[in-house]
Amino acid sequence: MQYDTIAFDITDNIATVKLNRPDVMNALNTQMRAEITDAVLEAGKTARVVVLTGEGKSFCSGQDLGDRANAANLDLERTLRDEYVPMLRAIFDCPVPTISAVNGAAAGAGANLALAADVVIASESAFFLQAFTRIGLIPDAGGTYYLPRQMGMAKAMGAALFADKITAKQADDWGMIWEAVPDASFADHWRARAAHLAKGPTAAYQRVKQSIRGSFDNDLEAQLALEAKLQGQCGKTRDFKEGVIAFLEKRPAQYEGR
């Protein structure tokens, strides 16, 4: 499948969605948002893990404001509702694990696009920037949802109000991301992480996502009931049987994934 603003590839059950507008730091325009949405939906049907990353030195600089005439007249509510929401839902609802491999600057909507993935791995030279108040806006593209859940109310409020850069190391220390990795080993590392998930029990991963997300809306009784229900479903899969047999036979499990 050919795209103009992203590079899309599925190899060894790993779908890579690479934002490919490096001349504008992979800024998001209407076409890129549509192409990311389409690629993630396609990947969710056939791959076993999806990776979002950026071409060049940046992950994503956020909304493309380069065209001043269009930027000044941008209908932000419509743009968010009609273009960002489908993209973010595609990532959030993806039936397989998603990874953001943040290779550089992730600013504005680009930072929150990264946070939409299940796991965020950043190079140590990368940074996150909630730049919105610098131009009189509030965090969007899911930022007001993800930030307090991933880094706590105090850090989220400070990040949104001050619009300071958050280094990858800070993001790691604050629990905003999964890990920060030295630049020299970053590419090999995220690929190894993706390969691990691509060989794992996809049905279980899907229910991991469902159960952890559900905990924010449940009290203990409801969450224990949800765990029991989902664990019962996992227990009926071929992957569970294979996992037990592989454990007893002291060999790596060979999961079917779907």
Q: Are residues 77 and 179 in the same domain?
A: yes
Distances (CA, A) of 94 to 1, 39, 185, 197, 254: 19, 11, 27, 14, 23
Clarify whether residues 92 and 124 are in a common domain: yes
* pLDDT value of position 257: 66
Residue 71: what pLDDT?
A: 60
- Choosing from 198, 222, 239, the residue where a domain stops is 198
Tell me the H-state helices in 93-142: 109-115
Domain that holds residue 238: 202-248
Q: What is the pLDDT of residue 31?
A: 95
> Which pLDDT value is given to residue 123?
98
For residue 125, give the H/E element and its range: none
What span, in angstroms and rounded, lies between the C-alpha atoms of 241 and 171? 38
Q: Are residues 11 and 88 in the same domain?
A: yes
- 257 is a domain residue: no
Do residue 91 and residue 219 come from a single domain?
A: no
Looking at the fold, whether 153 and 92 belong to one and the same domain comes out as yes
Sole residue written with tokens 């592989």: 246
DSSP β-ladder status, 58-60 and 14-19: unpaired
Tokens of 249: 């036979």
Say yes or no: 213 and 117 in one domain: no
Tens of pLDDT, residues 44-68: 999 999 999 999 999 999 999 875 5
Q: What is the CATH number of the domain that holds 224?
A: 1.10.12.10
Rounded Cα gap, residues 5 and 30, in angstroms: 10
pLDDT at 50: 98
- Answer whether residue 253 is part of any domain: no
Q: Within this chain, do residues 190 and 209 fall inside the same structural domain, yes or no?
A: no
| Res 65: pLDDT | 84
Mean pLDDT by 10 residues, the chain (258 residues): 92 97 95 97 96 97 76 82 97 97 98 98 98 95 96 96 97 97 97 97 96 95 96 95 95 84
The pLDDT value given to residue 113: 98
Is 44 domain-assigned?
Answer: yes
**Do 123 and 187 fall into the same domain?**
yes
Give the pLDDT score at 72: 61
Q: How many domains does the chain have?
A: 2
| CATH of residue 34 | 3.90.226.10
The reported pLDDT for the residue numbered 145 is 96
**Residue 66's pLDDT is what?**
78
pLDDT at residue number 187? 97
- Per DSSP, the three-state class of 60 is strand
Q: Are residues 71 and 146 in the same domain?
A: yes
- C-alpha 124/C-alpha 176 separation (Å) is 14
Is 39 a domain residue?
A: yes
Q: What is the pLDDT of residue 67?
A: 58
